[in-house]
Amino acid sequence: MDFTLSGDQKLLQETASRFARQELPGLARELEERDDSVSDDWMQRYAEMGFFGINVPEEYGGQGMGHLEAVLALEEFAKVSSAVAMPVFEANFGPMAVLVYFAPEELKRRVLPQVCAGKLMVAVSMSEPDAGTALTDLITRAEIRGDRVVLNGAKRWCSGAGHAQGYLVYCRMSDAPGAAGIGAVYIEKGTKGFSFGKREELMGFRGIMTADMFFDNVEVPAGNIVLPAGSFGKLMAAFNLERCGNTTMSLGIASGALDYVIGYVQERRQFGKAIVDFQAVQIKLAEMALKVDAARLLLYRAVSNAVRGLPSVLESSMAKCFANEMVRDVAGTAMQLMGGYGYSKQYDIERRLRDAWGWGIAGGTIDVQKVNIASALIGRRFDQRR
């Protein structure tokens, strides 16, 4: 078992790190202040640097690398902020796994090259007002009428809603109950009958648009069906890769907070010396580093074992659960080490702490991941309805 990155992997990581550190801190502050999303000009720059479609096959405009390479790049962006990292997350994880592995060939060739070129951002739409963790309760419906599909319903908690140009919409596509009736359809922004509600005001995730979405007899070609009814298992298999993307966002926030506070404790002086010279501070730094590295190893295992396939539910849930808890602890400790400065909006730590809590809710809560882990260990799903 070799834990050493290859030369190409190191080069990608270093390129992403240099770009993020030199180019993105100002953009991160701007997005935080304006609560605005990454602009089209920046999307083009990301694409030109090769940060979109890292793990997408070359035939669809991607880089043809693996999931580990996508993780390496995303962490460097997430070290700066969730907002500047979100386009990289969506273009390598999120809905991309479903499209790459399961979409019809014509749809792949129409959508994936546009995403990799930075001309199209695709968001995934799963949750509804009464279907969050209980996703099989969703009622948004897609009815097939000849060569057309007609959608009706409402979606909630879609990150990128209103900003993204394309949406992978989980919906009910037959009268079969529960998971058996669920599939997915691709919908483009601007389609007649497709609208957005008021933007959510969240504790964190500033710069990442979130809003309700409404479908009123939205009609699209049948070729936009990504997966038909009965494909819930495939959708969840692809979602294991999204969990790894979520894990990476948590890891990036935590490793960025650790780097930030390591610099701070060497400059901040109290009682005539740098506070890093106090043993209590040294212990806190060591504990933070241990947790960050443990999360990184769990993540690397999940994506490396998947090779070019999809991660397992056990390994992706373990990685996400640990990283989601870890980032809250590490960001909180970083704030404590900085004292009043950590609590000030003049510095980055308070933002990191606010974003840290969000990733343990998005993409399946921490407790849900623990249920997934227990199910994988026991070898059966637990019926939460009885």
Q: Tell me the pLDDT band of 386, cut-offs 50, 70 and 90.
A: confident
58 and 109 assigned to the same domain: yes
Quick one: 372 and 247 in the same domain?
yes
Q: What is the pLDDT of residues 280-337, one digit of tens each?
A: 999 999 999 999 999 999 999 999 999 779 999 999 999 999 999 999 999 999 999 9
Q: At what angle do helices 279-306 and 232-267 cross, to 10 degrees?
A: 150
Distance CA 96, CA 121 (A): 10
Give residue for tokens 């991660």: 311
Q: Are residues 96 and 24 in the same domain?
A: yes
Shared domain for 192 and 302, answered yes or no, is no
Same domain? 211 vs 328 = no
Based on the fold, state whether residues 213 and 265 are members of the same structural domain.
no
Question: What DSSP state is assigned to residue 32?
Answer: H
> Considering the domain boundaries, does residue 305 fall inside one?
yes
Backbone angles phi, psi at 242, to 5 degrees: -60, -40
- pLDDT at residue 2, as a whole number: 84
Token representation of residue 126 = 């799963």
Same domain, 103 and 151: no
We report the CATH number of the domain holding residue 69 as 1.10.540.10
What does the pLDDT look like over 250-270, one tens digit per residue? 999 999 999 999 999 999 999
Residue 2 domain-assigned? no
Quick: pLDDT tens for 333-368. 999 999 999 999 999 999 999 999 999 999 999 999
- The DSSP secondary-structure symbol of 4 reads P
Q: How many C-beta neighbours within 10 Å does residue 288 have?
A: 23
DSSP 8-class letter at 262: H
- Do 71 and 163 lie in one domain? The reply is no
Establish if 18 belongs to a structural domain. yes
Residue 64 structure tokens: 């043809």
N- to C-terminal Cα separation, the chain:
43
pLDDT tens per residue across span 36-75:
999 999 999 999 999 999 999 999 999 999 999 999 999 9
Those residues whose C-beta lies under 8 Å from the C-beta of residue 289, and which sit 6 or more positions away, are: 258
- Exposed/middle/buried for residue 18 (C-beta within 10 Å: 0-12, 13-18, 19+): exposed
Examine the fold and report which residue of 79, 98, 116 is the final residue of a domain before the chain moves on: 116
User: Structural domain of residue 268, as residue ranges?
Assistant: 233-378
Q: What ranges in the chain are assigned the alpha helix state H?
A: 7-23, 25-34, 40-48, 67-78, 82-92, 96-102, 105-116, 232-267, 279-306, 313-338, 349-359, 366-378
Same domain, 210 and 297: no
92 plus 181 within the same structural domain = no
Q: Could you write out the DSSP letters of every residue in 300-349?
A: HHHHHHHTTS---HHHHHHHHHHHHHHHHHHHHHHHHHHGGGTTSTTSSH
Instruction: Identify the CATH number of the domain in which residue 186 sits.
Output: 2.40.110.10
**CB of 151 closer than 8 Å to CB of 213:** no
Where among 58, 83, 116 does a domain terminate? 116
Are 194 and 85 within one domain?
A: no
**pLDDT of 111 strictly over 80:** yes
Mean pLDDT (the chain, rounded): 96
pLDDT tens, residue by residue, 140-181: 999 999 999 999 999 999 999 999 999 999 999 999 999 999
Structural domains counted in the chain: 3
